[in-house]
Each structure stands twice: as structure tokens, then as C-alpha cells.
């Protein structure tokens, strides 16, 4: 396991291929720092004894202690620990921990490469295991680039006016393949070691060129990362842990990129494209049952704190709203626990979360996030939006006046009350707050995707039978 210092050095040594606001930048650019600070947590905390049980694992390949973000889930307990780990990390970063993409993609590839080999006598699984050894040994950090830009949403990949709107293979050679296309909204990509590419959707027999999965270093020739940063607002004097964090997403362009065969894990076996897409989504939705309760924890903590500072904590409507928030956080978490406990072992030996519970949890989380923001905004009042800038609190002329007039509870210092509202302002009334809302809704698939998965995997006929029995219907 490496440390964050080694991680940062490795990322900063990558060749420049990150574009931001019209410029080609290096990975030393300060706009990448808040995101790297989040990932740094995942490299440093596993070395601390109190976190070792959850944040590290034993590799089933090398029997070495590894970072759990590089681990393949070989038991239901591994899935439970991944979920617990995700919640703990997201509480610390105040938002998405970002490194879950990689572990979710690696687990999906471990299972599917094995299945493809059984049917096609290919050698993807051995290749993948070699990559996994390398991944674990170097404690790599990966983005999963799944979401294609997709063009006309109602058209399939082969029906698009431009076939590159879904990433595809354009050449197959002796040493490897050449791919072209673009993947959207790629979290962590500019400060990840590797980019793991998998398909977005089910593919038809004429779509074998789009059935491709591979992993490449993030600075591979032809890869262009067009990035947009978001971070919590920097502070002047009122330093706080959250003000160091942020994230960056990229539109990742694959401009005729060569991928050597040893890094190709699916190429042409179209019937497995959809299976891989869905399995990654399942692992990722299970990760959401860890991260989303942490987002709820942050929102709930702020709601309860500001209610206390406003002197309204014991009011009935406030208690009801706090109980509602507990219901969201813990039901989503419980669904993830159920998905872990009822996980099934795939033929490769890896455990796969139970699909109905994982999707129910993710669905409930996505549905509730706007409501949770509403509760915080409700209990905080307008100051959540109109809090004066920090400089006005520092100013000798206006600072004491602000301290006097924002005072609620005289038992609590003006600085702590200011800190509470600044946190709320940063989380619910900011660019990153808006991003967290949309990520909560669309991350892991738009809401309808969970509905489709649930209805496909749920025995609705059995429910109709119950109703028929109770109604005395015998047909
Ligand atoms: C902050 C953030 C981070 C993300 N990080 C990653 C990442 O690291 N890697 C990654 O691969 N992805 C990532 N995603 C992408 C995420 O998975 C997608 O946003 C999600 O799958 C929706 O895809 P889309 O954005 O293309 O929206 P669209 O698919 O365009 O959805 C827009 C609307 O159209 C509907 N729609 C789409 N197609 C159809 C259709 N055929 N028929 C009917 N209705 C349709 C949808 O249901 C939705 O209501 C991230 C997203 C966000 C917001």
C-alpha cells in the first residue's frame, strides 16, 4: 500500500493531457488539488490502526495486505466492508470519495471476463488477473469510463448519424486494437492512474465493434481529458476540513487510441457488453448505499446543528424532519447491507450484490436527495443563501456588527455560529452543492434505470397471485 505522497508524485509525473477552460494544463494545476485531497484520504487512512479492519483487505491473489479499493469481493463480508468503508470515507470528505469507480469496475470485469472465456474459449480472465495483480501491487487509482456521449437517446449505437457517439473499435491488429469515441462525466479521471473503459448498454449482434472493455494509463497517447473542476469555497481565515475538498469530471475523448491486447478485456463478444454494463452498475449502486447515507449524514448533521443554534431543535416539525432524514440514511444503508448479506457467488468465485436490494437502496437515495436539501434549507433559513462573504466577518468595521447581528444562541460563540452557516452555505448553496444533487440523481444511472432493473428482476406475478387469492379470483 502506498501513501498519498507517492500517489501525488505518480499523478504529477503523468504526461499533460488535461484541458481546462481552453488550456492544456499539467497535473500540478491547483484546480486539481481539491479532488486529489479527497483521494489522498484513501491512501493515508488505511495506514492508521483504527481504520485497518475496514480500509484494508487481504488480496486473494497474493495474500498480501492491500487497500480495500483494490480488492475483489470474495465473501459477503467484503461487500459489507466496502459499504461501511464508503460511508466512513464520504463522512470525512463531506461528499463523494470518487475512488469507488475503480473497485466497482474491477469486480465487474473479474466476473464477466470469466464468463466470456467459458463461452468463447478466450483468454480475457487470465489477462485480467495479470492486470489485477499489477493494480493491487501498485495500489492504483482508476476512473471507470462507462457513460458514452450517446447522441440521439432513442437510437442504438449502430443507428447514430455518427458511429463514434458510442466508443468503438475501429481497428484490430496483431498487437492490439484502436478505439475511438468519448465518455462523459468521468469523475476522478484527471487525477487517476488508469482509465477503465466498459460499455454503457446492451448491444445487438450488429454492434460487436461497440462491445469493448479495456484499461489504459490516464495519459495514454490520444486520450484527451476535458475537465471542469468543482470545489468547496476556499477560506481566508476560517479554515475547515471541508474547504480542502472538491472533485473534477472530464469529458474523456479517445482520439484513435491504441490499446495493447494485454489490456483488452472484451472485444467483439457483444452479448456480454450489456452484462458487463449492468454488473458494473450493480456494484456501483451498491457503493451508493454506502456513499449516499454519508451525504445524508452530512445534511442531517447540519440540519440538527442549525436547528439547535436557531433554538428550534425540540419543535415538532423539526423533530419530524430529522426523523425523516434518519429514515432515508438508514433505509438506504440497510438495503445495502441486505444486498451484501444476500449476495451470490459468481462462477469466478467473486460475490455479486443482490440486485433488488441494491437497486431499491439506490432508488430511494436518488428520490430523496432533493428533499434532504430542502429540509436543511428550511431549518437554516435564508442565511443558508445570503451569508455575507468571509472578508466582511474579518473586516474590523463590519466583523463585530456581523457577529452581533447573526447571533442566535448566546451560549454559542459567534464564530461557531458563523462556521455552521458557512458550512451550510458551502454544501447547499454552491456549485458543488448543485453537482452533489445531480450526482445523487443520475450517478450510477438515471432514476428510470433503477426502475427498469427492479421491474425486470422482481416477481410481480407473485404479488398479483397474492391479490387474486385475497380477492377470491381463481382465474
Ligand atoms: C457528477 C457526476 C459524476 C459521474 N461520474 C461518472 C463516471 O465517473 N463514469 C461514468 O461512466 N459516468 C459517470 N456519470 C454519468 C452518469 O452515470 C450518467 O449521468 C447517467 O447514466 C445518465 O446519463 P446521461 O447523463 O447521459 O443522461 P441521459 O441518458 O441523457 O438522461 C437524460 C434523460 O433522458 C432519459 N433517457 C435517456 N435515454 C433514454 C431512452 N432511450 N428512452 C427514454 N428515455 C431516455 C433518462 O431517463 C433521463 O431522464 C456521472 C454523472 C454525474 C452527474
Ligand 1: residue of 165, 185, 197, 437 to mutate (most ligand atoms within 8 A of CB) is 185
Mean predicted confidence (pLDDT) in 380-391: 97
Residues 293, 256 share a domain? no
Atom of ligand 1 nearest to the CA of 150: 26
Q: If you compute the radius of gyration of the chain from its CA atoms, what whole number of angstroms results?
A: 24
Mean predicted confidence (pLDDT) in 236-251: 96
Does the C-beta of 92 come closer than 6 Å to ligand 1?
no
Phi, psi angle pair for 415, to nearest 5°: -65, -40
Q: Show which of 255, 270, 285 is a domain's final residue.
A: 270
pTM, rounded to two decimals: 0.97
> pLDDT band at residue 230, thresholds of 50, 70 and 90?
very high
**Residue 1 scores a pLDDT above 90:** yes
Mean predicted confidence (pLDDT) in 129-137: 98
Residues 254, 379 share a domain? no
Residues 305, 162 share a domain? no
Residues 355, 430 share a domain? yes
**Residue 444 scores a pLDDT above 90:** no
**Residue whose C-alpha is closest to residue 358's, from 450, 266, 263:** 450
Determine the distance separating the centroid of ligand 1 and the alpha carbon of 285, expressed in angstroms: 14
Q: What is the pLDDT of residue 358?
A: 97
Mean predicted confidence (pLDDT) in 402-419: 95
Ligand 1: residue of 187, 446, 447 to mutate (most ligand atoms within 8 A of CB) is 446
Q: Report how many helices (DSSP H) and strands (DSSP E) the chain contains, helices first.
A: 16, 14
Atom of ligand 1 nearest to the CA of 438: 53
Taking only the tens place, the pLDDT of each residue in 287-301 is: 999 999 999 999 999
The closest residue, in CA terms, to atom 19 on ligand 1 is 442
**Residue whose C-alpha is closest to residue 341's, from 354, 330, 328:** 354
Using CB atoms within 10 Å of the CB of residue 432, give its burial: 0 to 12 exposed, 13 to 18 middle, 19+ buried.
Answer: buried
Determine the distance separating the centroid of ligand 1 and the alpha carbon of 187, expressed in angstroms: 13
Q: CA–CA separation, 185 vs 433, rounded Å?
A: 16
Residues 290, 436 share a domain? yes
Q: What is the pLDDT of residue 404?
A: 96
Q: Show which of 237, 253, 270 is a domain's final residue.
A: 270
Q: Give helix 100-120 / helix 271-310 axis angle, nearest 10°.
A: 160
Average pLDDT, the chain: 97
Domain count for the chain: 2
* Boundaries of domain holding 151: 4-270
Classify strands 264-267 and 212-217 as parallel, antiparallel or unpaired. Answer: antiparallel
Q: Show which of 213, 248, 270 is a domain's final residue.
A: 270
The closest residue, in CA terms, to atom 11 on ligand 1 is 146
Mean predicted confidence (pLDDT) in 150-164: 97
Mean predicted confidence (pLDDT) in 117-121: 97
Mean predicted confidence (pLDDT) in 74-82: 98
Residues 105, 16 share a domain? yes
Residues 21, 153 share a domain? yes
Taking only the tens place, the pLDDT of each residue in 7-39 is: 999 999 999 999 999 999 999 999 999 999 999
Residues 279, 258 share a domain? no
CATH classification of the domain holding 351: 1.20.140.10
Residues 409, 351 share a domain? yes
For residue 315, CA distances in Å to 229, 321, 371 come to 40, 10, 19
Q: What is the pLDDT of residue 344?
A: 98
Three cell numbers, residue 162? 455518427
Mean predicted confidence (pLDDT) in 326-343: 98
Q: What is the pLDDT of residue 376?
A: 98
Residues 281, 137 share a domain? no
Strands (E), 131-278: 142-145, 168-172, 176-187, 194-197, 212-217, 223-231, 246-260, 264-267
Identify the bridge partners of residue 168 per DSSP, sorted by sequence position: 180
Residues 218, 166 share a domain? yes
Contact 197, 211 (CB under 8 A): no
Q: What is the pLDDT of residue 320?
A: 98
Alpha-carbon torsion (74, 80, 85, 87), positive or negative: positive
Residues 144, 53 share a domain? yes
CATH classification of the domain holding 63: 2.40.110.10
Q: CA–CA separation, 315 vs 84, rounded Å?
A: 32
**Residue 443 scores a pLDDT above 90:** no
Amino acid at each position: 500500500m502506498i501513501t498519498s505522497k507517492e500517489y501525488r508524485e505518480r499523478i504529477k509525473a503523468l504526461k499533460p493531457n488535461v484541458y481546462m477552460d481552453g488550456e492544456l494544463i499539467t497535473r500540478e494545476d491547483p484546480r486539481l488539488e481539491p479532488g486529489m485531497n479527497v483521494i489522498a484520504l484513501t491512501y493515508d487512512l488505511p495506514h492508521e490502526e483504527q481504520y485497518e479492519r475496514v480500509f484494508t483487505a487481504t488480496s486473494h491473489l497474493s495474500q498480501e495486505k492491500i487497500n480495500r479499493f483494490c480488492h475483489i469481493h470474495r465473501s459477503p463480508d467484503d461487500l459489507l466492508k466496502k459499504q461501511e468503508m464508503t460511508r466512513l470515507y464520504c463522512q470525512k470528505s463531506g461528499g463523494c470519495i470518487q475512488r469507488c469507480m475503480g473497485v466497482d469496475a474491477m469486480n465487474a470485469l473479474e466476473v464477466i471476463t470469466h464468463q466470456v472465456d467459458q463461452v468463447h474459449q478466450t483468454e480475457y480472465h487470465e489477462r485480467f488477473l495479470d492486470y489485477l495483480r499489477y493494480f493491487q501491487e501498485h495500489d492504483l487509482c482508476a476512473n471507470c469510463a462507462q457513460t458514452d456521449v450517446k447522441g440521439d437517446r432513442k437510437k442504438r449505437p449502430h443507428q447514430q448519424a455518427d458511429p463514434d457517439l458510442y466508443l468503438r473499435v475501429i481497428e484490430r491488429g496483431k498487437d492490439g486494437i484502436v478505439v475511438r469515441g468519448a465518455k462523459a462525466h468521468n469523475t476522478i479521471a484527471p487525477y487517476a492512474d488508469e482509465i477503465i473503459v466498459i460499455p454503457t448498454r446492451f448491444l445487438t449482434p450488429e454492434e460487436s465493434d461497440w462491445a469493448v472493455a479495456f484499461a489504459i494509463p490516464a495519459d495514454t497517447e490520444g486520450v484527451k481529458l476535458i475537465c471542469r473542476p468543482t470545489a468547496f469555497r476556499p477560506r481566508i481565515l476560517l479554515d475547515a476540513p471541508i474547504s480542502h475538498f472538491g472533485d473534477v469530471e472530464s469529458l474523456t475523448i479517445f482520439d484513435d487510441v491504441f490499446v495493447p491486447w494485454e489490456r483488452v478485456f472484451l472485444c467483439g463478444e457483444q452479448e456480454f457488453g450489456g452484462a458487463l454494463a449492468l454488473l458494473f452498475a450493480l456494484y456501483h449502486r451498491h457503493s451508493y448505499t454506502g456513499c449516499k447515507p454519508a451525504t445524508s449524514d452530512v445534511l442531517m448533521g447540519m440540519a440538527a446543528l442549525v436547528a439547535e443554534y436557531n433554538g428550534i431543535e425540540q419543535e415538532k416539525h423539526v423533530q419530524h424532519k430529522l426523523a425523516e432524514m434518519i429514515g432515508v440514511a438508514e433505509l438506504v444503508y440497510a438495503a445495502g447491507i441486505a444486498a451484501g448479506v444476500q449476495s451470490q457467488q459468481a462462477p469466478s468465485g467473486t460475490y455479486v450484490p443482490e440486485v433488488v436490494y441494491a437497486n431499491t437502496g439506490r432508488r430511494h437515495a436518488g428520490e430523496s436527495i432533493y428533499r434532504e436539501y430542502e429540509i436543511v434549507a428550511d431549518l437554516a433559513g435564508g442565511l443558508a443563501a445570503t451569508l455575507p462573504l468571509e472578508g466582511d466577518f474579518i473586516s474590523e468595521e463590519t466583523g463585530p456588527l456581523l457577529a452581533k447581528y447573526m447571533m442566535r444562541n448566546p451560549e454559542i460563540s459567534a464564530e461557531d455560529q458563523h462556521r455552521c452557516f458557512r458550512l451550510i452555505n458551502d454544501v447547499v448553496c454552491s456549485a458543488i452543492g448543485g453537482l452533489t444533487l445531480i450526482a445523487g440523481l443520475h450517478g450510477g444511472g438515471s432514476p428510470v434505470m433503477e426502475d427498469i432493473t427492479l421491474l425486470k428482476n422482481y416477481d410481480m406475478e407473485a404479488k398479483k397471485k397474492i391479490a387474486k387469492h385475497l380477492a377470491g379470483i381463481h382465474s
